[in-house]
């Protein structure tokens, strides 16, 4: 046996066992060291403060954005209120005479100026038309009587003149006719009487014309039309012309202004008395905003201050506020210790309707410096840090997680000292979902699915089980 060769083999085996033992001990030490940090795998994503929010994700999560604005947060007063109609916004349409009603509109229907609201068949209207006819006939009769009187006077003057010429002719022949002289004197004596009769007939004609005008004015009031409209002539069957009132057999009341039918006071076909309310219309754009302020704020308020009615909270679609000038109601409420504040908006919007509640924003000091501000609801607390998400100016499908450096707040807007500029966009709705997706601090990896669910990237250093 070769002893040295055996010893060499044994030493080699011992060395291998020792090396293997040292390797296991090192593996165990690493496996049980709770403070050891695993090495960063090659190709792993570095932590980032950006989150992908493509269009599908924004729709599913309801993510909306608000612009960074310059606002006078420290000098802004905000009070609650609601829209109401102006006193001149409503129109009432009543029955001018007794009769049966036929409705021509439905409730909440939009009507233009001049559109018929209802039609009436009234016996009193037919009586009024008869009076109009009688007034016209009275004019024709007075005109005829005046013509007769004028002809009678002209005839008497012609006879007297002819008689006078005949007497003069006989006088040249030195012949006197006493009966002719008597006739001429009689004719001349009758002329003033004929003149007086003409004046009487002229007065009667003027009275008949005045009666017709009064009846036309009455008819215009009943019909809701102008008197000139009723005097206009139109051709009737047969080609002869008559005034317009002659062809009106039913009363038709039209809208005096454009608006919406608010209420209908009767059923179709009902018999109504004169003065009964048939329908009301309103102009939904003729509105003002009435807010309720505290009497303790009166020192800050004055007529003419700049104000704006804010869109109702939660309204999507980028609705804009409605500017206007502040007007204080002269009389305050002593029991509630409040004062009503009125603003008539300079423009209108679809969301501004009577009864809609919102907030009135009043700038009490127009000389105060405007500061960069974002909505308070865009800021969320993440553990001990307040954060918001700014839209990436370079990529609208990404948002950037920002730690908020905030200033004063008026309850709706808050000043942001750093990290934004005017015109930037911040996440308004969906900020909580983004906070949960991002976790505490920059996100190391993950993405939103199209359905809005967050999927964290698996740890590439993690060993499969």
Q: What is the pLDDT of residues 359-408, one digit of tens each?
A: 999 988 877 788 899 988 899 988 888 999 999 989 989 999 999 889 88
Residue 442 above 70 pLDDT? no
Mean pLDDT across the chain:
81
Instruction: Say which residues have a Cβ less than 8 Å from residue 463's Cβ, sequence separation at least 6.
Output: none
Q: What is the pLDDT of residues 182-234, one digit of tens each?
A: 766 776 777 787 788 888 888 988 998 898 899 999 999 888 888 888 888 88
Dump the DSSP string for 54-86.
-HHHHHHHT--EEE-EEE-GGGEEEEEEEEEE-
Torsion 251-257-258-263 (CA) sign: negative
C-beta atoms surrounding 101 within 10 Å: 24
Longest C-alpha distance within the chain, in Å?
212
Q: What are phi and psi of 337, to 5 degrees?
A: 55, 45
pTM: 0.63
Q: Return the half-sphere exposure (C-beta side, CA atoms, 13 A cut-off) of residue 237.
A: 1
- Percent of the chain residues past pLDDT 70, beyond the cut: 77
Burial of 286 (0-12, 13-18, 19+ CB in 10 A): middle
Q: State the alpha helices, DSSP H only, in 300-444.
A: 431-438
Q: Which residue has the tokens 């905030």?
A: 406
Q: What is the mean predicted confidence (pLDDT) over 56-81?
A: 87
Confidence at 331, pLDDT banded by 50, 70, 90: very high
Q: What is the mean predicted confidence (pLDDT) over 21-32?
A: 39
294: left (phi > 0), else alpha (psi -120 to 50), else beta?
beta
Q: What is the mean predicted confidence (pLDDT) over 105-120?
A: 94
- Percent of the chain residues past pLDDT 90, beyond the cut: 37
Question: Which token pair is 172?
Answer: 């040249």
Q: What is the mean predicted confidence (pLDDT) over 318-347?
A: 92
Question: Which token pair is 429?
Answer: 């709705």
| Cβ 51 vs Cβ 431: under 8 Å | no
pLDDT of residue 451: 55
354: left (phi > 0), else alpha (psi -120 to 50), else beta?
beta
12 vs 225 pLDDT, higher one = 225
| Cβ 293 vs Cβ 341: under 8 Å | yes
pLDDT of residue 316: 56
Across 222-236, 266-280, 346-360, 393-407, least confident range: 222-236
């Amino acid at each position: 046996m070769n002893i040295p060769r055996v010893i060499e083999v044994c030493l080699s085996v011992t060395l291998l066992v020792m090396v293997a033992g040292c390797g296991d001990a090192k593996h165990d030490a690493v496996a049980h060291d709770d403070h050891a940090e695993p090495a960063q795998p090659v190709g792993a994503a570095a932590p980032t403060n950006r989150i992908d929010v493509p269009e599908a994700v924004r729709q599913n999560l309801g993510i909306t954005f608000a612009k960074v604005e310059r606002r006078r947060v420290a000098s802004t007063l905000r009070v609650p209120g609601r829209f109401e109609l102006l006193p001149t916004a409503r129109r009432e349409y009543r029955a001018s005479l007794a009769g049966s009603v036929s409705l021509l509109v439905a409730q909440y229907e939009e009507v233009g100026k001049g559109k018929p609201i209802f039609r009436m068949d009234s016996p009193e209207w037919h009586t009024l038309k008869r009076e109009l006819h009688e007034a016209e006939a009275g004019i024709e009769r007075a005109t005829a009587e005046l013509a007769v009187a004028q002809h009678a006077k002209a005839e008497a003057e012609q006879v007297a003149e002819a008689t006078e010429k005949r007497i003069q002719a006989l006088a040249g022949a030195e012949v006197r006719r006493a009966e002719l002289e008597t006739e001429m004197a009689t004719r001349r004596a009758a002329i003033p009487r004929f003149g007086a009769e003409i004046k009487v007939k002229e007065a009667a004609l003027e009275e008949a014309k005045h009666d017709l005008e009064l009846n036309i004015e009455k008819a215009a009031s009943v019909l809701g039309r102008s008197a000139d409209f009723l005097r206009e002539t139109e051709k009737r069957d047969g080609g002869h012309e008559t005034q317009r009132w002659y062809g009106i057999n039913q009363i038709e009341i039209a809208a005096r202004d454009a608006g919406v039918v608010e209420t209908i006071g009767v059923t179709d076909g009902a018999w109504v008395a004169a003065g009964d309310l048939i329908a009301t219309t309103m102009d939904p754009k003729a509105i003002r905003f009435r807010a309720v302020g505290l009497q303790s704020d009166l020192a800050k308020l004055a007529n003419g201050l700049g104000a704006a009615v804010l869109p109702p909270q939660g309204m999507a679609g980028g609705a804009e506020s409605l500017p206007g000038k502040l007007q204080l109601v002269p009389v305050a409420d002593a029991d509630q210790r409040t004062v009503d504040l009125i603003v008539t908006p300079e423009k209108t919007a679809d969301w501004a309707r009577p009864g809609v509640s919102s907030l009135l924003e009043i700038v009490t000091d127009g000389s105060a410096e405007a500061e960069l501000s974002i909505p308070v609801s865009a800021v969320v607390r993440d553990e001990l840090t307040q954060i918001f998400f700014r839209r990436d100016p370079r990529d609208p499908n990404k948002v950037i997680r920002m730690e908020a450096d905030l200033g004063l707040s008026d309850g709706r807007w808050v000043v942001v000292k750093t990290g934004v500029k005017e015109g930037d966009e911040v996440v308004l709705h969906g900020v909580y979902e983004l906070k949960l997706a991002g976790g505490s601090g920059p996100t190391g990896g993950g993405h939103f699915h199209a359905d809005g669910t967050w999927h964290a990237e698996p740890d590439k250093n993690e060993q499969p089980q």
